[in-house]
Amino acid sequence: MTDVQRRWRQGGCAATTATRSWLCWGTWRSDGRGAGGCGGGESRGAIANFSVTFSIISILTGLTTLYNTGLTYGGPLTMIWGWPVVGLLTMIVGLSMAEICSAYPTSGGLYFWSAKLCGNRWGPLASWFTGWFNIVGQWAVTASVDFSLAQMIQVIILLSTGGKNGGGYEASKYVVIGLHGGILLLHALMNSLPISVLSFFGQLAAAWNLVGVTVLMILIPTVTTERASAKFVFTHFNTDNGDGIGNKAYIFVLGLLMSQYTLTGYDASAHMTEETKNADKNGPKGIISSIGISIIFGWGYLLGITFAVTNIPYLLSEDNDAGGYAIAEIFYMAFKNRYGSGVGGIVCLGVVAVGIFFCGMSSVTSNSRMAYAFSRDGAMPFSSLWHKVNKQEVPINAVWFSAFISFCMALTYLGSEVAFQAMVSIATIGLYIAYALPIFFRVTLARMSFVPGPFNLGSYGILVGWISVLWVATISVLFSLPVAYPITSETLNYTPVAVCGLLVLTVSSWILSARHWFKGPITNINS
């Protein structure tokens, strides 16, 4: 019996030792490798597990699409120094998650952890809340990532046809939504492929992000004819945000959203553990390494791009060629000023677009595994449908369902951009609440009973866990603050409305129905 099998038996899982085959969120075969209900035929290695998570964090996606936010709220100083601060605290959260992942390597991830850490009495309730915040947050991430790609494609088309000042084509919101739907369709098709193929794409995505970031952080400041000084990059603080906010501390806090949004989604390593060899070791490695490498390369990317920033108001102006898309304007003008043509900048935007495409692909992968696991316990409507797997042992129905839900979320954009922003705000706050819940249970209810896996923080586990919980509580408050004054229906930050709405729905469904039938993660016996 392996250490993992022994710990899972202690946690309440059953086994048939005669066949040496285990089934508790994953099947333990005679060769000692975990084979989950999805992906049991093929297993990912440590690199493949890391690749999916690194691709979801995707520096190219988060930092590029929210660079405007960083420039608006604080500018260079907020971005350059806020990134390592947020990175360090994110790593602390990741370490706490990695420790729990090592003890419970399952595709259910966070909500399974909450159930086991809270025991039989409170486990179902804790599992219900954690699971729904996790899965809705993941759907919101996919919706926001693929919508960001649709907007990026629209900007590429605009610049390729002459730019805003040259009569370029500006797509309507209906065209953008159509692009979003097409992207999700491609991602669903790719995630319907066998795991070996998807694993290849995942590793290609990780390589693309690493190489793309490295090339752009060197190329852009090299090509640009006007570079910012080191003093500007490291010390300039932009207070001219046009939103009526003058307090510097307040501005700095709002600017941190760029960094925190980017460093999200690393729970994917946990959701992929049932398809990962030596999951109790490689799952935690995937979480920690993806965060660490993202911090290093992300800081380099921010430095390189910010050295090409010399006129913040112009970059944020909707009257520039990119229509106010700051990084697109930086890339475009760097090549246009140097070579008389912005084609090189458009190509660079294409590199970013591919990185965002891979991010969305990996996000659907993580979504579908979470939906598969959650429905396996009957927690979702029509659960029997979503936890089916095809001949390649891919949770095919969960893949298409996740893509469909993400598309429906983006449809709110047609009614109101404010409503859309409120919906995707769950991507950051909702997910981090789901991250914090099992950590909170680990340092409270399970403080004495927690049985660590191969990766553990030893005597520092409790301290690191409390820091993680406090940081999540802090950002949940900070990112719910108003982002513009005076406060109107158009400037109100709807983040707390969206998160509280999800909380009300989760509580109501538990009280009215789920408490009568949802018993938490189901232990299966494979004979």
pLDDT digits (tens, 9 = 90+) for 157-214: 999 999 999 889 999 999 999 999 999 999 999 999 988 888 888 889 889 999 999 9
pLDDT of residue 423: 67
- For the residues of 337-369, what is the DSSP string, one character each? HHHS--HHHHHHHHHHHHHHHHHHHHHHHHHHH
DSSP letters spanning 111-161? HHHHHHHHHHHHHHHHHHHHHHHHHHHHHHHHHHHHHHHHHHHHHHHHHHT
pLDDT for 499 equals: 87
Would you say 411 and 139 are in contact if contact means Cβ atoms under 8 Å apart? Answer: no
Domains contained in the chain, CATH given: 46-516 (1.20.1740.10)
- Residue 38's pLDDT is 45
- What pLDDT score was predicted for residue 508? 95
How deeply is 166 buried, as exposed, middle or buried, from its count of CB atoms within 10 A (0-12, 13-18, 19+)? exposed
Enumerate residue ranges in the chain where pLDDT < 70.
1-45, 107, 274-275, 419, 422-424, 523-527
- Edge-first strand order for the sheet with 15-16 is 15-16, 21-23, 26-28, 34-36
Closest by Cα among 195, 157, 161 to 274? 195
Structure tokens at 216: 């752009």
What is the per-residue DSSP string for 59-114? Answer: HHHHHHHTHHHHHHTBTHHHHHHHHHHHHHHHHHHHHHHHHHHHHS--TTTHHHHH
Helix-strand-coil percent breakdown of the chain, rounded to 5?
Answer: 70, 5, 30
pLDDT tens digit sequence for 317-342:
999 999 999 999 999 999 999 999 99
pTM: 0.86
Could you tell me which residues are beta bridge partners of residue 26? Answer: 36
CA distances to 17, 39, 71, 155, 192 from 275, rounded to whole Å, are: 22, 5, 40, 37, 15
Q: What is the chain's Cα-based Rg?
A: 23
212 sits in which H/E element: helix 195-223
Name the one residue in this structure whose structure tokens are 């700051």: 326
Question: What per-residue confidence (pLDDT) applies to 17?
Answer: 25
Alpha carbon distance 54, 57 (integer Å): 5
